[in-house]
Each structure stands twice: as C-alpha cells, then as structure tokens.
Amino acid sequence: MSSARAVKVAVVGHVEWVEFARVARMPHPGEIVEGSDLMREPAGGGAVAAVQMARLCGQATLVTALGEDQLGREAQARLAELGVRVRAAPRAAPTRRALTMVDEQEHERTIITLGERLEPSGEDAELPWAELAEMDAVYFTAGDILALRAARKARVLVASPRAWHALGHGVPLDALVTSLADPSEQAGLRRVRDDAKRIVRTEGQRGGSWLAGGDARARSWPAAEPPGPLVDTYGCGDSFAAGFTYGLGAGLEVPAALVLGARCGAVCLTGRGPYQRQLTGAELDLG
C-alpha cells in the first residue's frame, strides 16, 4: 500500500439529514422517555462512507441528489467542512430526514426515516459521471442503473444492497457488502448474487464472512478491537464499507481490505454519531 493520498475514491449514494438523541433505553409502546445530547448531521450511507474515505485519503467525491431546500444547502456545506467534494443534482422534493435514538445501555441505534430517498440518476447532466472512470474505487449506495454503469468504469466497484433497484441487471460488482443483521438486505441477495464477484457479510462484534464467486465456502475475518469505550453504533457499517472499498482501491488483497474495514467500523463505534471518531490516513500503517 503506497500512499493514502494517492488513492482516488468516490461514493455514489444518498444523504439524509439526521437528528440524533440519546435515551436511557428504547421506549415501550405508549411510553415517553427523555432524550438528551441532541445533535444534527447530514448522514445516511452515502454521506458517512464519503466522510470516512475523505479521512483516509484526504478527499473523496460524493455524487448524490439533494432537495432544493435549507437542509440540502446545510448538508452540502457541512459535508464540505468534513473534506467531501459534494456534487449534487437538485430535486424539488425535500431533503430526506431521519430520527435516530441511541440506547445508552446497548449503544445500539434505532432509525426512523422521513420522506423520499433522493438518488442521483445517470441522466443528471450536471453530475460528473465521466470522472468516475478515473477513480481507483467507488462505493455505490443509491442511484439508477445508468448511474451504476457509470460507476462500473472505476477500477473497483463495491455496492450496498440498499441500491437494490439498480442491482441485478448484469453490471458486475467487485463486492457486495451486506449486514446479516438486516433481513431486508439478505432478502434480495439471490437476484444480485450472480453479478457480485464477492459477497461480504458483516456480523458486528463477531466480525463477518465473505464468499468468492460461486464458492460455497465462507471465509471469515475477526472483529477489530475498539480503541476506547463503546459509544454508539451509528455509522459503523458504512465506515466499514468505506474502509473496505478504499482498501481494495489501494491495492490490498481482500482479507487485508476487510481487516481495514473492520478497523474503521471499530473506531467509529467509539465516537458520538458518525463523525466524532473515524479512522484517518495518519493512523494507517502504510508499510
């Protein structure tokens, strides 16, 4: 692995304006619980992955769509502060919002999304689709089939099953990153499996496993040790996917890229929300 800053990476995906609150425990039906430590950030799978990539290699491009509203403008400005080069197609619909509660006992997050998920399209002429061919790696979380085809021109393409309606149409993926804890992500695997060179299955504190091609033999990787007390899980999976994608783009073999992804997820686990604590290029052993 030569230089973290030499790797060119991008994310094609979605952004949500998220309001976070900590609760002592999740409420029972009909119950009222008191929240604390209110925080607001542009997040969602595309945004979190883009920030993690930017922290690993200095800058990352996020190709997305945002509402022509105040939240869309605030999201773009905040992500730019975090080192992300945002290229957003405008949408008349409002920027999607989300509410997240973090359980102080289990450190687990529960998310409620509000509104339509805004996604980039390959027909958005203002978006830099041609630039994706120059990328070492692209992570794809949202977009149409035309966007996916443009992303495929990168040297490495990793996707999330959350982009399900663009997947399964014969566009080859270097890897598909899924969560075994999310039944909705596992449900669509049969349709996508033939297009993915590798299926990666995360299992949180148990690490995860991956399958190569049509091989039925799963290979595992261990969870990384968090470098501090656990705070909350929001953004850990997206940070994992970003680190894994970056690792493949930097020329790491799959097992080493998975270890790097696991380390990114573990570091994120020790910070409040997705951005307080993410692995940086300065913390990597570049060898």
| 65-122: pLDDT as tens digits | 999 999 999 999 999 999 999 999 999 999 999 999 988 887 788 889 999 999 999 9
Which domain, by its residues, includes 48?
7-28+35-274
**Angle at CA 200, nearest 5°, toward 17 and 66?**
20
The pLDDT of residue 105: 80
- Residue 1 pLDDT greater than 60, yes or no: no
What are phi and psi for residue 86, nearest 5 degrees? -90, 130
Alpha-carbon span 227 to 239, nearest angstrom? 15
pLDDT at position 194, please?
83
Residue 238 dihedral angles phi and psi, to the nearest 5°: -70, -35
Q: Is residue 216 in a domain?
A: yes
Q: Does 281 reside within a domain?
A: no
Which residues lie across from 219 on neighbouring strands?
210
- The larger pLDDT score, comparing residue 30 to residue 265, is at 265
- Please check whether residue 206 lies inside any domain of the structure: yes
- The answer to whether residue 131 scores a pLDDT higher than 90 is yes
**pLDDT for the residue 187:** 66
Query: Each residue of 170-223: pLDDT tens digit?
Result: 999 999 999 877 767 666 677 787 899 999 999 988 999 999 876 778 899 999
Give the pLDDT confidence score for residue 89 in this predicted structure: 98
Please indicate, yes or no, if residue 19 is contained in any of the structural domains.
yes
Task: State pTM to two decimals.
Answer: 0.93
pLDDT at residue 8 is higher than 70: yes
pLDDT attached to residue 188: 65
Residue 96 maps to a domain: yes
CATH code, domain with 17: 3.40.1190.20
Q: What is the pLDDT of residues 227-244, one digit of tens each?
A: 999 999 999 999 999 999
Q: Is residue 98 part of a domain?
A: yes
Within a domain: 286? no
Residue 283 falls within a domain, yes or no? no
* pLDDT tens for each residue of 39-51: 999 999 999 999 9
Residue entry with tokens 């596992």: 186
**What total number of domains does the chain contain?**
1
- Other Cβ atoms closer than 10 A to 180: 14
